[in-house]
Amino acid sequence: MGLIARIIANALALMIVAWLFDGISFARGTDGILAALWAGLILGVVNVTLKPVIKILTLPVNILTLGILGLLVNALMLKVVDLLTPGFQVRGFLTAFFGAIVLAIVSAVLNLFAKKD
């Protein structure tokens, strides 16, 4: 899957999560679409750069917690996207936690459909 397709898939996944959770939202109208695309790009960059470093640093604790810390890292990455994206808001860490779980599921489903082509 190409870079543009990944950005669009990330943006679509974020929009689905925003539709499912009241605490996650985009700006309205065209600004919301641009915010979704920007958030999709930022999410991709964060997942490629920041997330692996944090996962390596937290690996021993992640093993001890049987992977639960990994879910917290995903929520933290969603909050980082919130901080870096104007027009995208995640209210509260608990919303980010459950939103990140659903985001992972939606992204996995979208990636399955993308690989069929």
Between residues 116 and 69, the one the model is more confident about: 69
Mean confidence (pLDDT) of the chain: 89
Asked whether the beta carbons of 97 and 71 are under 8 A apart, the reply is yes
pLDDT value, residue 9 = 86
pLDDT, tens digit, for every residue of 3-12? 788 888 889 9
Pair of tokens at residue 25: 């939202």
Domain spans of the chain? 3-115
Asked whether the beta carbons of 26 and 18 are under 8 A apart, the reply is yes
Pair of tokens at residue 76: 């933290």
pLDDT value, residue 117 = 54
Residue type, 5: A
The whole-model pTM stands at: 0.84
Confidence grade of residue 92 (pLDDT, cut at 50, 70, 90): very high
Using alpha carbons, select from 79, 77, 87 the residue that is nearest to residue 37: 87
Asked whether the beta carbons of 16 and 106 are under 8 A apart, the reply is yes
